[in-house]
Amino acid sequence: MIQLSHIATERRNPESEKIDTLDTLEILRLINKEDQKVPQAIAAELPKIANAVDCIAARLQSGGRLFYLGAGTSGRLGVLDAAECPPTYGTDPSLVQGIIAGGMKALLIAREGAEDSDSLAAEDLQAAHFCAKDVLVGIAASGRTPYVIGGLRYAGKIGAATVSLSCSPDSPIAKLADIPLTIITGPEIITGSTRMKAGTAQKMVLNMLSTATMIRLGKVYGNLMIDVKASNKKLEERARSIVMEATGCSRSEAIDALNESDGRAKLAVFLLLTQLPADSAKKILAEANGHIRLALEKLTNKRSI
């Protein structure tokens, strides 16, 4: 029998014991008050989150990939964060992947029973050709989901890097991970409804992991998403805006540079900043692993010799 009373996220919140007697505005104020505890809980884990980012960035720089693994809300949040990386940072869809218990159908229709298998995750990871070069982030609010436990065990067994993300102290997945992240959000407003504070905390941490990793990989210049993939009209305009913001050029100059760069904002910016031919700019950027600032420094040093 699962002892729910032993799981922090399953305990009853004394602040909301009479929430059903409150008027609508009071209900919302109470929810909002509880939600304000989330960033404070995350702040306590920032050093460990930084360790996780450095681990992920190093693995990706060495040819590895990042996998999020979870069930229910946790799995959906992982899939969501992974799905946002290609359009935002121009990554290949295989670089950051989300795996949810029960498969992609579980995104729309809850298949909560799938989380009870401790062997299914290994099969799902094998199907994705998960290997020792990769990183697995196992996500479970309770930290006790068998699907996630099985995935972390498999990842550790083959030598992959492992990170856990839970909201309950002393959880099984924390004990299995190289880098355990435990965000103590406390009991939910509605007992056991971990899509609330716990889900918010998980979403914020996943945003941190992917965003900070992409910054470390040179996919951000200043605070501009320099590797944005211009896959629709809005993103095409965003790419033009990024080039203009980064270089101070006119809109027509940005359009010309993007045309010369096959729509790649990073290359367009580098062309405008250096006035180099496209082939030379590509080579120097490649030597700097896609980091504009590093490429500019190398070019300055070369010219000063």
The span from the CA of 166 to the CA of 19, in Å, is: 26
Q: What is the C-alpha R_g of the chain?
A: 22
Active site residue 123: no
- Per-residue exposure over 26-37, b if at least 16 CB sit within 10 Å of its own CB, e if not: eeeebbeebeee
Catalytic residue among 10, 34, 45, 115: 115
Helix (H) or strand (E) holding 69: strand 66-70
**Which residues have CB under 8 Å from 246's CB, separation 6+?**
221, 222, 224, 226, 269, 272, 273
* Angle CA 259–86–79, to nearest 5: 165
Q: Extract the tokens encoding 276.
A: 């180099």
Q: Look at residues 186, 184, 122, 124 and name the one whose alpha carbon lies nearest to residue 156.
A: 122
Helix (H) or strand (E) holding 66: strand 66-70
Active site residue 10: no
**Residues taking part in catalysis:** 84, 115
